[in-house]
Every structure is written in C-alpha cells, then in structure tokens.
C-alpha cells in the first residue's frame, strides 16, 4: 500500500477517495485540520467544529506558546455545532468557544459532562448545551455523532465517530492506549472507518506513535492520520515515526498540514 506521507503525495495516491478540499464538484465530507486535535467537518452546507483551539491561551496562561498562528480566524468559522471531547484548554478554549457560539446564534456546544459543566460556568444558555455520552448516537443535521471511550486525565473524555452519508471517521481526542479501546470503538462503528485521526504526542495522558499505530492496526481504517503534534514545542512528536510504524503493518497514512483539507 502507498504511504501518504505528505499532502500532495496523499492527494495523488488516493485516486478519488481523498481529494483537494478546493476541488470542484464532489464533496461528501470535507475535513480540515485546525492543528492539535481540532477539525472542521463539512457536509451538505453544514459545519461541525471539533476541539477548535484558535487562540494562544496556553501561551498566555502557562507559557506554552503556539509554534504557528491559527490557520483561520474565529470570524472565518460559522459552525452549526462545536463538539468538545474533554475539558482541557487546548481542546476547550473558552475564548474560541464563546466566539463561535456568539457568531452563530443556533450553534450548539456538545460534549461530555466536564464540558457541559464548563459551559454552564461560562453562563452559556442551557438549551445550547448537549450532553455527549459514550455509545449514545446524536443526530445533528447531516451528521450522526457517536461518542466513543477514551482514557485520559479528564475522566469524562471521549473520542468521536462522525458519519455522513456513506462516510465514517474516528477522532480519538486525547487518550492513552488501552487494548480494550479498539473492540469498543469497532462495535460502535459497525463497519470499517474511512479514516482514523489519532493522537501521537506521547505526553500528558496521550498515546505515543507506536501505541497509536497499534490502535490503528486493531481498528483497520482505510487511512490513518496522526494529530496532536506541532502546536507546542514542549508537547509534540515527529509524525514520521507513526507513518513508519503504520507502514510496516501495511496501513495507509496521511499527514495533513494545519489549514489543509481532504474530502472523502
């Protein structure tokens, strides 16, 4: 199998399964990496933001400065919902969440208990808060969202399955490796995933590259995409190690650049 180890090689290798996000005429599911664990997922004119971190809040509060500016301004994003996998600042950034919800009066904040409690502390309207529970699907416009188990220091942390039309992706959120995760996620997915986006940084309660590759080997997605690297000098990893670990197992991989999109 080819190894999609850079964006242009990935686009050429896919032969239609993944395409440039600016391509005309197709898309079924457009996925844009915001950096760290953040994504925009678009389908049929609808937009879901997952763990968007678009400020330098960690730099201002804890000294962990961004290595590069956000790929988009908050004003450029008008989501129908924001899904937050857990209540850590690089995933639940109050300034980003507040801005996105103010720009879109009908935008919902979806997340596990820790996220909902934080939303209440921010005085967000109760009708805009939607609790995400592991294994309980949520239907949102053209998206079917199924929270999955995660193992993290926020005990309420979840991963996420996103299904639109015939496409299905998995986003790990922050999680340690646990051999019991893959069977549970597979059971909730019910079919092969088109893509799995997995953390690889190996610090602060997350899998490192070899463990992420082991999880991917058990899940067997069409393509595996590493994330949660390149944002902070103090908390990053070389994604090429993940690519190599996957390659020896025959697993296709894709390295995205922040701000770039792929279409399934």
Angle at 73 between CA 142 and CA 208, to 5 degrees: 75
Q: In this structure, is residue 2 part of a structural domain?
A: no
Q: Give the pLDDT confidence of 172-201 residue by residue, as tens digits.
A: 999 999 999 999 999 999 999 999 999 998
The pLDDT mean for the chain works out to 90
- Please state the pTM of the whole predicted model: 0.90
pLDDT at 25 over 60: no
- Number of domains the chain contains: 1
pLDDT at 12 over 60: no
Beta strand extents in 122-235 (DSSP E only):
129-131, 138-140, 143-149, 158-164, 167-171, 195-199, 223-227
CA 174 to chain centre: 9
Q: Which stretch of 6-10, 25-29, 141-145 has the lowest confidence by average pLDDT?
A: 6-10
| Residue 23 binned pLDDT confidence (cut-offs 50, 70, 90) | very low
In this structure, what CATH number is given to the domain that contains residue 88? Answer: 3.60.15.10
pLDDT of residue 232: 85
Q: Rounded CA gap, 193 and 163, in Å? A: 9
The share of the chain scoring above pLDDT 90, in percent, equals: 80
Alpha-helical segments (H) within the chain? 7-14, 57-62, 94-103, 113-121, 181-189, 209-219, 239-247
| Residue 27 binned pLDDT confidence (cut-offs 50, 70, 90) | low
Nearest to 171 by CA among 214, 125, 228: 228
- Which domain, by its residues, includes 146? 7-263
Number of alpha helices (DSSP H) and beta strands (DSSP E) in the chain: 7, 14
| Residue 10 binned pLDDT confidence (cut-offs 50, 70, 90) | very low
pLDDT of residue 196: 98
User: Which residue do the tokens 């939607």 mark?
Assistant: 130
Reduce the DSSP state of residue 239 to 3 states and report it. helix
Q: In this structure, is residue 1 part of a structural domain?
A: no
């Amino acid at each position: 199998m080819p190894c999609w180890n850079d964006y242009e090689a990935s686009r050429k290798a896919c032969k239609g399964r993944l395409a440039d996000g600016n391509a005309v005429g197709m898309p079924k599911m457009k996925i844009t990496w915001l950096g760290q664990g953040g994504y925009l997922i678009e389908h049929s004119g609808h937009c879901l933001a997952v763990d968007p971190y678009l400020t330098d809040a960690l730099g201002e509060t804890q000294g962990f400065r961004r290595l590069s500016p956000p790929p988009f301004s908050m004003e450029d994003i008008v989501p129908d919902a924001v899904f937050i996998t857990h209540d850590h600042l690089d995933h639940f950034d109050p300034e980003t969440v507040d801005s996105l919800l103010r720009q879109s009066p009908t935008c919902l904040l979806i997340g596990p208990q820790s996220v909902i409690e934080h939303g209440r502390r921010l005085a967000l309207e109760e009708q805009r808060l939607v609790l995400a529970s592991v294994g309980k699907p949520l239907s949102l416009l053209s998206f079917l969202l199924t929270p999955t188990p995660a193992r993290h220091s926020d005990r309420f942390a979840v991963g996420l399955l996103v299904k639109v039309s015939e496409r299905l992706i998995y986003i790990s959120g922050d999680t340690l490796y646990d051999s019991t995760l893959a069977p549970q996620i597979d059971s909730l997915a019910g079919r092969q995933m088109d893509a799995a986006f997995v953390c690889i940084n190996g610090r602060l309660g997350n899998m490192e590259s070899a463990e992420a590759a082991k999880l991917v080997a058990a899940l067997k997605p069409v393509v595996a995409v590493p994330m949660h690297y390149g944002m902070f000098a103090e908390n990053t990893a070389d994604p090429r190690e993940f690519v190599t670990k996957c390659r020896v197992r025959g697993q296709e991989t894709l390295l995205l650049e922040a701000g770039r999109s792929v279409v399934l």
